[in-house]
Amino acid sequence: MQITDPTDSRRTSPSASPSTGPADGRSAARAATRPVWDAFIRLFHWLLVAAVTIGAVTGLVLGPTWLKLHLLAGTTAAALVLARIIWGYLGGRFARFEGFVEGPLKTLRHIAELRDNRAPRHVGHNPAGGWMILFLIAAILLLAVTGTIALGGIFKTGPLGYAISYDLGDRVNGLHNWLAWGLLGLIAFHVAGAIFESLRTRENLPLAMITGRKRVGRGDILPPARSAHPRRAALIMLGTAAAAALIGITLAGRAVPRLPVARLDPTYASECGDCHVPYNPSLMSSDRWRLLMNSLENHFGEDASLDDATRRQLTEWITAHAAETVDTKPAHVLAQADPANPISLTATPFWKKAHAAIPDSVFARKPIFARSNCTACHGDAETGMFYPANIKIPEETTK
Amino acid sequence: MNRTMHRIMPALVLGALALGQPLSADPARDAIINQLKAEAGVSSFSAERGKQFFHARHSGGKPQTPSCATCHTSDPRNSGQTRVGKVIEPMAVSRNPSRFTDPKKVAKWFRRNCRSVLGRECSAREKGDFLTYLSNL
């Protein structure tokens, strides 16, 4: 609900006060402005710009190795939006939802007035801009929710790691991706709207989001006067943050079902680990492991035969912890084998696709040496988790 | 050189010689070598033949591993490296005193690596020469 301000003649520029030094020519222009966007709104807006930019670049361009920064950006964006919602009930007249959220009829009328070039000037958000704020808030919250579900299902971490299956996480991740493009679309409209309104009202609106001040004009439409309650709002924001952190940490601490075997069998670790990374048994299904254990005499170009008792003992341990016993991403994505070489992980279609951008020279260099040397870059390869944030391609060593 | 130096010189030389003696003082390793002597029907092995065997390029094995030196490097006193980059501790007993003291391990690696490099089992004499070379390096 907004009201026209027929008599607003308050001159509320700080430069009008005598303590700010000699008056210059600009002080007259400044005197005709009023504070609109308070410090919280401005800080919120630009921090959100930064968080969303980082989230979009890390998520859509840089890819999974930037997951840590992506999660930080997403968490920040969600926290900012939650704080903004609280401020939407306890902030001043321009911050409150009641001041800029209009019904669909009023909004359509405003759009029609814009079309006919007779729309009044809203000092705060105009009805279309108000809806945009709600859409942006909803999109960012949905992104946070779908991101948390995807993180839990795919990487078995975060507050929902214990609750979400890989399949569900994978599907929700698709939704997360679509929402991300949707948010970028909304932002494009938001920026276009700000440019349009800047031209229409001859006022630099992005600048107003920095200075917080806007020109005072005749016939301006103002939201109803409300006083801000910054202390109460800060208290509720802190309480919400503490509660969210507590719930998040508690949920994240819950035991995750169907994880790879945590401790490698010592015989496995020494018999297989003497020559190569002791691959976590969860990376292959038990039928592929049996094929491998039955062809050790010709093992990727070497004789790796074992005495029969050891071979049987290891086969039993490996198949008891094979891919079908876990719900990790590697177990799912590596399940599709190369029919010509079913016991090779590096021959699987997923492996090839995921490493396609890495040149042969990187694999050949010290201390990597071979494609099969997972641990050289995946710090947690032996756990079978392959969390993207644990990827670090080492520089070439000369020793 | 002063007189003191002259007097202790023979002792230094003797000490150095003692250190240069075969280091295969481990009874477990001696037992493995003696067992091979019995199998081969010989009373001694040749470190020189073992050295040639170690460095030779063999045929008949897998193409990726033509020689012992492929993975263990041309100086067995250094660490080697598997084809996928895992470090192999030095083969020379002087650098790695626990080498060739576990008969099961010795049998396993001779079985695997002789097949990989030569495409066949090694003879008792080849094994004995090999161990003698690496024990006296």
Examine the pLDDT at B11 and tell me if it is beyond 90.
no
pLDDT at B12 over 70: no
Residue percentage of chain A with pLDDT more than 90: 88
Confidence band of B14 (pLDDT split at 50, 70, 90): very low
Least CA distance to A363: which residue of chain B?
A: B84
The reply to whether A297 touches chain B by the CB within 8 Å rule is yes
Using DSSP bridges, classify how beta strands A3-4 and A213-215 pair: parallel, antiparallel or unpaired.
unpaired
Q: Is A257 within the bounds of a domain?
A: no
Q: Is A152 found in the same domain as A18?
A: yes
Q: What is the average pLDDT across A8-15?
A: 42
Residue A397 located in a structural domain: no
**Which range has the worst mean pLDDT, A22-31, A162-171, A183-192, A361-370?**
A22-31
The residue among A295, A303, A368 with the most chain B CBs within 10 A of its CB, best to mutate, is A303
- Asked if the structure places residue A181 within a domain, the reply is yes
pLDDT in tens, A70-80: 999 999 999 99
Asked whether residue A135 is domain-assigned, the answer is yes
| Three-state helix/strand/coil letters over A264-309 | CCHHHHHHCCCCCCCCCHHHCCHHHHHHHHCCHHHECCECCCCCHH
What is the per-residue pLDDT for A13?
A: 41
Question: Are residues A272 and A247 part of one domain?
Answer: no
Query: What are the DSSP calls for A47-103, one per residue?
Result: HHHHHHHHHHIIIIII-GGGHHHHHHHHHHHHHHHHHHHHHHHHS-TTT-HHHH---
Rounded to 5 degrees, φ, ψ at A61 are -110, -55
Three-state SS for A36-53 is CCCHHHHHHHHHHHHHHH
Residue A388 has which token pair?
């993207």
Under DSSP, the state recorded for A4 is: E
Q: Which two tokens stand for residue A256?
A: 């995750």
Is A307 at the interface with chain B, CB within 8 A?
A: yes
How far is Cα A214 from Cα A217, in angstroms, rounded to an integer? Answer: 9
pLDDT of residue A2 exceeding 70: no
**What's the gap between Cα B82 and its chain centre?**
18
CATH code, A177: 1.20.950.20
Looking at residues A26-55, what average pLDDT do you find?
88
Interfacial B residues in 23-62 facing A (CB < 8 Å): 62
The H or E element containing residue B32 is helix B27-40
Q: Which residues are CB-contacts of A388 (< 8 A; sequence separation ≥ 6)?
A: A64, A65, A67, A155
Q: Which helix (H) or strand (E) holds B113?
A: helix B103-118
pLDDT at B7: 59
For residue range A341-371, what is the model confidence (pLDDT) as tens digits?
999 999 999 999 999 999 999 999 988 999 9
C-alpha atoms less than 13 angstroms from C-alpha of A154 in its C-beta half-sphere: 19
Instruction: Note the pLDDT tens digit of each residue in A291-343.
Output: 999 999 999 989 999 999 999 999 999 999 999 999 999 999 999 999 999 99
Contacts with B100 (C-beta within 8 Å, 6 or more apart), sequence order: B29, B32, B93, B106, B131, B134, B135
**Tokens encoding A81:** 């939006």
- Best of A271, A274, A296, A302 to substitute, by most chain B Cβ atoms within 10 angstroms, is A302
CATH of domain B24-135: 1.10.760.10
User: What single DSSP character describes residue A261?
Assistant: P
Residue A44: count of CB within 10 angstroms of its CB? 18
In whole angstroms, what is the distance from residue A113 CA to residue A200 CA? 12
Whether the pLDDT of residue A18 is over 70: the answer is: no
Domain edge (last residue) among A252, A287, A307: A252
B69-73 average pLDDT score: 94
In a domain, A273, yes or no: yes
Asked if the C-beta of A275 comes within 8 angstroms of chain B's C-beta atoms, the answer is: yes
Q: Which helix (H) or strand (E) holds B57?
A: none
- Residue after which a domain boundary falls, among A252, A275, A308: A252
Same domain (yes/no): A320, A245: no
Q: What is the mean pLDDT of residues A139-168?
A: 98
Task: Give the C-alpha separation, B8 to A39, whole Å.
Answer: 87
Determine what percent of chain A is predicted with pLDDT higher than 70.
Answer: 92
Give the Cα separation of B100 and B81 in Å (integer).
18
Burial string for A256-283 (b: 16+ CB within 10 Å, else e) reads: beebbbeebbeebeebbeebbbbbbbbb
For residues A90 and A239, give the distance between their C-alpha atoms in angstroms, rounded to a whole number. 15
State the amino acid at position B81 in one-letter form.
Answer: Q
Query: Which of B65, B106, B116, B118 is most worth mutating to test chain A (most A CB atoms within 10 A of its CB)?
Result: B116
**pLDDT tens-digit map of A211-269:** 999 999 888 999 999 999 999 999 999 999 999 999 999 999 999 999 999 999 999 99
Read off the tokens for A58. 């890390």
Task: Domain count for chain A, please give it.
Answer: 2
Last residue of a domain, one of A195, A218, A252: A252
A360 touches chain B (CB under 8 A): no
Segment A151-179 shows an average pLDDT of 98
A293 and A206 co-located in one domain: no
How far apart CA B60 and CA A153 sit, in angstroms, is: 50
Which chain B residues touch A378 with a CB distance below 8 Å? none
Measured CA to CA, the distance from residue B87 to residue A228 in angstroms comes to 67
Question: Residue B17's pLDDT band (boundaries 50, 70, 90)?
Answer: very low
Q: What integer best gives the mean pLDDT of chain B?
A: 87
CA dihedral sign, ordered A48, A50, A55, A61: positive
Find all residues with CB under 8 Å of A185, minimum gap 6, and list them. Answer: none
pLDDT of amino acid A378: 96
Residues A216, A276 within the same domain:
no
Is A306 at the interface with chain B, CB within 8 A? yes
For residue A112, pLDDT over 50 is answered with: yes
- Residue B95: CB atoms within 10 A of its CB come to 17
A299 φ/ψ angles, rounded to the nearest 5 degrees:
-110, 95
CB contact under 8 A, A302 and B116: yes
B86 close to A (CB below 8 A): yes
Tokens 């496995």, residue? A268
Report whether pLDDT(B8) > 70. no
Same structural domain, A56 and A204: yes
Contacts of B116 in chain A (CB under 8 A): 302-303
Q: Does A362 touch chain B (CB under 8 A)?
A: no
Closest chain A residue to B117, measured at CA: A302
Quote the pLDDT of residue B20: 43
What pLDDT score does B85 carry?
85
pLDDT tens-place string over residues B52-61: 999 999 988 9
B120 touching chain A per CB within 8 A: no
Tokens representing A384 are 């079978």
In tens, the pLDDT along A253-292 reads 999 999 999 999 999 999 999 999 999 999 999 999 999 9
Task: Write the single-letter amino acid at A130.
Answer: G
**Cβ of residue B108 closer than 8 Å to a chain A Cβ:** yes
- The distance of A300 to chain B (nearest Cα, Å) reads 10
User: How near does any CA of chain A get to the CA of B128, in Å?
Assistant: 21
- Tokens at residue A237, please? 């924001």
Confidence band of B2 (pLDDT split at 50, 70, 90): low
The verdict on residue A258 lying in a domain is no
Residue with the bigger pLDDT between A54 and B25: it is A54
**Do B112 and A304 lie within an 8 Å CB cutoff?**
yes
> Which of A4, A3, A6, A15 shows the shortest CA–CA distance to A213?
A15
Compute the Cα dihedral for B104, B106, B112, B114 and give only its sign: negative
B137 pLDDT band (50/70/90 cuts)? confident
Task: Report d(CA A127, CA A119) in Å as an integer.
Answer: 11
Which region holds residue A137: left if phi is over 0, alpha if psi is between -120 and 50, else beta?
alpha
Candidate from A297, A303, A373 with C-beta closest to B84: A373
Tokens of A224: 């109803």
Q: Among residues A149, A147, A155, A159, which one has the least CA distance to residue A254? A: A159
Q: Which of B62, B85, B86 sits opposite A302 (nearest CB)?
A: B62
Whether the per-residue pLDDT at B22 is higher than 90: the answer is: no
Domain of residue A367, residue span: 266-390
